Amino acid sequence: MPRSGTATRQNILDAAQAIILQRGFAGASIDRIITGAGITKGAFFHHFPNKAALAEAVISRFIDAEAALFKDICIRAERLSDDPVQQALNIIGLYADALDNHPEVVEGCLYASVALQRSEYPDEVSKIAADSIDQTTAQLRPYFDAAIRAAAPRKKINADDLADMFISVGEGAIISAAYRKDPSIPGRQFRTLKAQLELLFGR
């Protein structure tokens, strides 16, 4: 049966993401992507006019999936407890559980790829990635702010720093997981972060 346009596009994006994580954006040539996707050059250019457009599509798809996951986690965290401190802790715990279910974290992270290879990517891709991280910290900030107001922490801290720590732990853990080929690292690191916040908030 002929492959549908949607399936072909997704196949190109899958191949491109895998090659970018393995070889970097500069090493992800269109020829390599075509070979990895098992398509013709004509099929590639039917979906993407150039490599820059492909890069935007790859990072946008990755960001959309992360945003959907995080939105679901926040909803579940609120349903589990009305207590602001517990909601913040739930977000971290549920995110740790989600990472346990994604052993492909050992392949690396597109956020890290873009950050470390900014000169290789189109400027728009770097902006999309940076904006996404800002949106995630903005989404986290109210939860941490509410937790701080509800239960004075044992040390002076602010919501912005806690939100940035969440991002830093995640990116660092995924990089470590990729180097060490250990998919358990991200989940374990977020549970360590949760334990630290439990101590901070006296839980």
Please give the pLDDT value at position 120.
87
State the amino acid at position 116 in one-letter form. Answer: L
Which pLDDT value is given to residue 4?
A: 61
Name the stretches of the chain with pLDDT < 70.
Answer: 1-4
pLDDT at 131: 93
pTM: 0.88
| Residue 117, phi then psi, degrees to nearest 5 | -125, 40
Report pLDDT for 115. 83
The Cα–Cα gap between 198 and 144 comes to 12
Residue 122 has a pLDDT of 87
User: What does the pLDDT read at residue 1?
Assistant: 37
What's the distance, CA 20 to chain centroid? 15
Helix (H, G, I), strand (E, B) or coil at 199: helix
Q: How many CB atoms lie within 10 A of CB 68?
A: 10
Cβ-in-10-Å burial (0-12, 13-18, 19+) of 186 comes to buried
